[in-house]
Amino acid sequence: MPELPEVETIAKGLHQAIAGKRIKEVKAIFPGIVRQNFRIFKKTIIQKEIKGVRRRGKYLLIDLSEGKTILTHLGMTGGFLFINLPNSPPKVSVRRPPQSRLNSKHDHLIFRFCESNAGLCYNDQRKFGKIKVFNTTEEKNIPELKKLGLEALEISSSEFIRIFKNRKGRIKSALLNQQIIAGLGNIYTDESLFEANIHPAQKMNLLKASKLKDLHKAIRKVLNKAIKAGGSSIENYSDIDGRMGRFQLHHKVYGREGEFCKRCGRKIKRIKINQRSSYFCPKCQPLKDA
DNA sequence: TTGCGTGTTGGACA
DNA sequence: CTGTCCAACACGCA
């Protein structure tokens, strides 16, 4: 679920909702989501003020006062909900936003802020998400961040071409590799490859620079449109107010196996690449082999 | 009932 | 550097 556009939507929503607020309390229903000693985590962030919320690749970064930053990855099904908490601290009953698609049974962490009854709930059905806090000055050394490639929306056309030409493997594998370029996942690689008329299994060394340029442009176009639409809601993604994204309504190939290509009318096909379903139009995205 | 597939990353291995 | 397979987990579906 959460690829760059979804994480970007959440980051903006969080920034809006909690910047300037101070963390009063953290409650763990399932502390395993925090990938370090929970008591230390709690002690480190409590009483700190939220300075801002950023995104790096598919990671969320919540900057706190006194030089601390919370790193969050949402995995497949993680999400935040901005909520109202009743005044009695011990009993945390979560009043969910009306449109929320996240089952309360998978609430794992509850943050309470000093201001009003504001709270934040971390929900994650599959528990693949992770959260930890680190010293902001060490950001360059955090293993998760250190490995990331250039931001998908910041890389220039020439850098993009330089990085992808002369590689051997299949284009989709490389696009999914966060160490090469950060932010794309299964949905947006398929949508971008369709937009650029490139077969997902295309070997990169057979792609001309002009084609890579098309792909770079396609990625920007798809991601920017998806951000404008608030991301894609397939199963249980929603923003911090429980609202669904709308970009799934504009998917041209993802999840459309057997349906007709919106451009040429042929049936969309599905193949496996790196154990991941890959959707494409066989007519619009021909495979070139040597 | 059983098995399979699902938006993620990371590690082991050839 | 590549690609492949598997693991973490919970759920819906055939």
Output the average pLDDT for chain A: 93
- pLDDT for A219 equals 96
Q: Is the pLDDT of residue A92 over 70?
A: no
Cβ neighbours around A128 below 10 Å, total? 13
pLDDT one-digit tens code per residue, A260-284: 999 999 999 999 999 899 999 999 9
Instruction: Judge whether residue A189 contacts strand B, using its CB and a 7 Å cut-off.
Output: no
* A183 residue type, one letter: G
Was domain A150-280 assigned CATH 1.10.3720.10? Answer: no
A271 CB below 7 A from strand B atoms: no
Q: How confident is the model at residue A87 (pLDDT cuts 50, 70, 90)?
A: confident
Q: Which nucleotide is nearest to A148 (CA to C1')?
A: B9
Domain boundaries, chain A: 4-145, 150-280
Residue nearest to nucleotide B10 (CA to C1'): A144
Out of 2.40.50.140, 3.40.47.10, 3.10.20.600, 3.20.190.10, which CATH number does the structure's domain A4-145 have?
3.20.190.10
Average pLDDT over residues A135-146: 94
Alpha carbon distance A21, A49 (integer Å): 6
Residue of least CA–C1' distance to C12: A235
- pLDDT tens-digit readout, A150-179: 999 999 999 999 999 888 889 999 999 999
- Reply yes or no on whether A195 is catalytic: no
pLDDT at A93: 60
How distant is C1' of B1 from CA of A96, in Å?
A: 35
Vertex A238 angle, CA A184 and A175, to 5°: 5
- Whether A30 and A127 have beta carbons less than 8 Å apart is answered as yes
- pLDDT beyond 80 at A250: yes
Structure tokens at A239: 């923003």
> Is residue A90 scored above 60 in pLDDT?
no
Please choose, from the candidates A71, A185, A82, the residue with its C-alpha nearest in 3D space to the C-alpha of residue A129.
Answer: A71
